[in-house]
Amino acid sequence: MSLGEKVLAQYETYINPGLARLLRFMGLSAVEREAAGTIVTDSEGKRMIDCVGGYGTFAFGHKHPQIVQAVAEQLQRMPLSSKVMLSQPMADLAEKLARITPGDLTYTFVCNSGTEAVEGAIKLARIATGKTKIISMIHSFHGKTLGSLSASGKDLYREPFAPLLDGFVHVPFGDAERLETVMDDQTAAVLVEPIQGEAGVILPPVGYLRRVRELCDRHGALLIADEVQTGMGRTGRIFACEEEQVVPDILCLAKALGGGVMPIGAFIARPSLYEPYIHAPLLHTSTFGGNPLACAAANAAIDLLLEERLYEQAKQKGDYLIAKLRLLADRYPGTVQEIRGRGLLIGIEFVNEEIGGLVMSELIQNGVLTAFALNNLRVTRMEPPLTISKQEIDQVAEAFANALAASLPLTQIS
Ligand SMILES: Cc1ncc(COP(=O)(O)O)c(C=O)c1O
């Protein structure tokens, strides 16, 4: 029995038989063994360029030496916090975040994941405004714990758990007029991804985020930017909301914040919202949130982001990759509907799911890992590390051309 079969059997027996079946059906039975930079190597020694990038986690690639070293040093000193003494790594991280986030975003709460960052932002919005209504977007993705799921805009994941939290309203993304119709004085916050990731890399019309900011100001509502996927340089700016010089009231981060080495999440807020938590600082807490290992990783990641200006690299490399992919798509009509993105957050929308699925498995055959957008299976996203080289981008493009060629017979059927 191969290692892949053995691990799949363990998934089947001890994790979830349905998941094992799905992975088998998708031909995903390789076992990951190690990773460095842009490359993931499986147990058979096959090397793959990682264009899934942990759904945005590996902005710095896998196992970046500077980040690993920071974590290793912290591991030797003190991995987890005593919780009763002061933590320098957490204080350093909060200070760095205050410096790099826009406007007067100042106070940071550190947690362990994206969904926790969103949960924390929703709670802060409610307690700071004394209101409960949260407006979020159709097809949005904010995580799968109950509060974040109530905000997420995909019924497939919501309905089995209904009723979810009260007070959540969904409107189409990118449509400021529709948003205006549901905003009222009971609105605590509008929660929005500057670019929708799991919806299939959807860019809103130019000026949209600024309009949302104006509407929030007019109705006394807060703007929560979920930058769990777009933050930390991915879209060509440190934070995607900077594209329109918008300062949110609360900014949610996770994924790449941990430098691809540690799990971490955070929300950063304007001081004016913090009054209730200043009076009762223990109202929102987490045992592992702000742990020294994760904070050491995040501190090293932020230093690297600034030193290497990785956000600028994301813009240049993204423009280059998108242009190449579009040229190739034009050569294989009937396969691709649209290629879109900003920086190295790229979505390839296929004419149907079958072609998308085949291209994805052909890409794997050709040594490139990609993944579906969770809320739109016609879209494959490419989110490689921002450290990807030009030569690796060319390899990705070549693999894409081969995969499109292999999918051509399906275009004749459809
Ligand atoms: C925009 C956004 N928010 C929140 C989340 C949830 O993050 P996590 O999976 O770490 O809970 C995700 C995950 O994909 C995301 O893309």
Could you give the CA distance from residue 335 to residue 357 in angstroms, rounded to a whole number? Answer: 11
Which two three-digit tokens encode residue 55? 């759904």
Of 57, 193, 251, 255, the residue with max ligand 1 atoms within 8 A of its CB, to mutate for a pocket test, comes to 255
pLDDT at 240: 98
Could you give the CA distance from residue 191 to residue 79 in angstroms, rounded to a whole number? Answer: 34
pLDDT at 412: 73
Residue 109 is a catalytic residue: no
Q: What is the pTM of this model?
A: 0.97
187: buried, middle or exposed (CB in 10 Å: 19+, 13-18, 0-12)? buried
For residue 379, report the distance from its CA to the centre of ligand 1, in Å. Answer: 17
Q: Is the distance from the beta carbon of residue 228 to the nearest atom of ligand 1 less than 6 Å?
A: yes
* Residue spans in the chain of domains classed CATH 3.90.1150.10: 31-63+309-413
For residue 316, report the distance from its CA to the centre of ligand 1, in Å. Answer: 25
Domain at 65-307: CATH architecture: 3-Layer(aba) Sandwich (3.40)
Could you give the CA distance from residue 214 to residue 217 in angstroms, rounded to a whole number? Answer: 5
Residue 141 is a catalytic residue: yes
Atom of ligand 1 nearest to the CA of 252: 3
Q: Is the distance from the beta carbon of residue 226 to the nearest atom of ligand 1 less than 6 Å?
A: yes
**Which residue among 58, 226, 315, 324 is the active-site one?**
226
Atom of ligand 1 nearest to the CA of 193: 1
Q: Which residues neighbour 48 within 8 Å (Cβ) at sequence distance 6 or greater?
A: 39, 40, 41, 42, 364, 367, 368, 369
pLDDT at 373: 86
CA angle 268, 273, 274 (to 5 degrees): 80
**Which residue among 96, 133, 255, 315 is the active-site one?**
255
Of 136, 142, 150, 374, the residue with max ligand 1 atoms within 8 A of its CB, to mutate for a pocket test, comes to 142
Q: Is the distance from the beta carbon of residue 383 to the nearest atom of ligand 1 less than 6 Å?
A: no
Could you give the CA distance from residue 300 to residue 64 in angstroms, rounded to a whole number? Answer: 10
pLDDT at 414: 53
pLDDT at 24: 87
* Residue spans in the chain of domains classed CATH 3.40.640.10: 65-307
Residue 255 is a catalytic residue: yes
For residue 229, report the distance from its CA to the centre of ligand 1, in Å. Answer: 7
Atom of ligand 1 nearest to the CA of 230: 1
pLDDT at 374: 80
Query: Which residue CA neighbors atom 13 of ligand 1 most closely?
Result: 143
For residue 164, report the distance from its CA to the centre of ligand 1, in Å. Answer: 18
Question: Does residue 107 contact residue 268 with C-beta atoms inside 8 Å?
Answer: yes
pLDDT at 376: 85
Domain at 31-63+309-413: CATH architecture: Alpha-Beta Complex (3.90)
pLDDT at 46: 95
Positions of the chain with pLDDT lower than 50, given as ranges: none
**Which residue among 141, 168, 350, 400 is the active-site one?**
141
Q: Which amino acid is at 378?
A: R
